[in-house]
Amino acid sequence: GAGVSQSPSNKVTEKGKDVELRCDPISGHTALYWYRQSLGQGLEFLIYFQGNSAPDKSGLPSDRFSAERTGGSVSTLTIQRTQQEDSAVYLCASSLMGQGVGEKLFFGSGTQLSVL
Amino acid sequence: GENVEQHPSTLSVQEGDSAVIKCTYSDSASNYFPWYKQELGKRPQLIIDIRSNVGEKKDQRIAVTLNKTAKHFSLHITETQPEDSAVYFCAASSTSGGGADGLTFGKGTHLIIQP
């Protein structure tokens, strides 16, 4: 595609429910990142995929958060048993090569998650 | 790990004036410093970056300066225009390793251009 695509753009859920957020990176980009942006906060790193390597999960805030990337392309971020503090914009980004290169990140438009 | 501090959190300037946003970093191994601009409701986009082998880089009305000794870098926007209104994020990265390209972001500066 022309850019990084995320869906849904908005998600409203009830506390305790599970949610899945999807990211479709730019074709050919080997690196994929998930960030969380809370109101008035910066971009908080969550997880990073690079090719077929094991993902860097060091930013996941709790074991309720998980992500996978199938076939080196589409990624899904899953939040189980959502809490109100999970409300934020979840941004996905991709880059051509990834780690160790200092590359430009291409961001998606994000998913605005609201937990009631 | 890396810690990036960004100031100010909000900056209001008159149209046509200059704006300066400053960031400091803690990891002396960091060698890549990008700036991202996020307009209201839109995705962050890279506007300029600098690597540690240079002290300054310009692109039309924007410039970035880097002081490795003091571990700080700044974004300068001259002749500000209404379309410059956005949130600006600095970041620091060590290409020697680390997750997610070793990229750590500041908390952002909300730049407001007053007409």
Position B101 confidence tier, pLDDT thresholds 50, 70, 90: low
pLDDT for B97 equals: 43
CA distance to partner chain B, nearest, from residue A97 (Å)? 10
Residues in chain B: 115
Position A99 confidence tier, pLDDT thresholds 50, 70, 90: low
A102 has pLDDT over 80: no
Task: Name the percent of chain A in helix, strand, coil, to the closest 5.
Answer: 5, 45, 50
Angle at A56 between CA B74 and CA A97, to 5 degrees: 65
B chain contacts of residue A104, beta-carbon cutoff 8 Å: 34, 46, 49
Q: What is the dihedral of CA B75, B59, A30, A47, to 10 degrees?
A: 10
Q: Identify any residues that bridge with B109 across adjacent strands, giving them in sequence order.
A: B88
- Mean pLDDT comparison of A58-72, B6-20, B81-95, highest-scoring range: B6-20
B98 has pLDDT over 50: no
Whole-number average pLDDT of chain A:
91
| Shortest CA distance from A109: residue in chain B | B43
Are the Cβ atoms of B34 and A56 closer than 8 angstroms? no
Q: Which of B9, B33, B95, B101 to mutate: most A Cβ within 10 Å? A: B101
| Shortest CA distance from A42: residue in chain B | B107
Beta carbons of A98 and A114 less than 8 angstroms apart: no
Q: What confidence tens digit (pLDDT) does each residue in B30-80 have?
A: 889 999 999 998 999 999 999 888 899 999 999 999 999 999 999 999 999
A21 has pLDDT over 90: yes
A chain contacts of residue B45, beta-carbon cutoff 8 Å: 107
Are the Cβ atoms of B107 and A105 closer than 8 angstroms? no
Position A109 confidence tier, pLDDT thresholds 50, 70, 90: very high
Please say whether the dihedral angle defined by the alpha carbons of residues B63, B23, B45 and B2, taken in this order, is positive or negative: positive
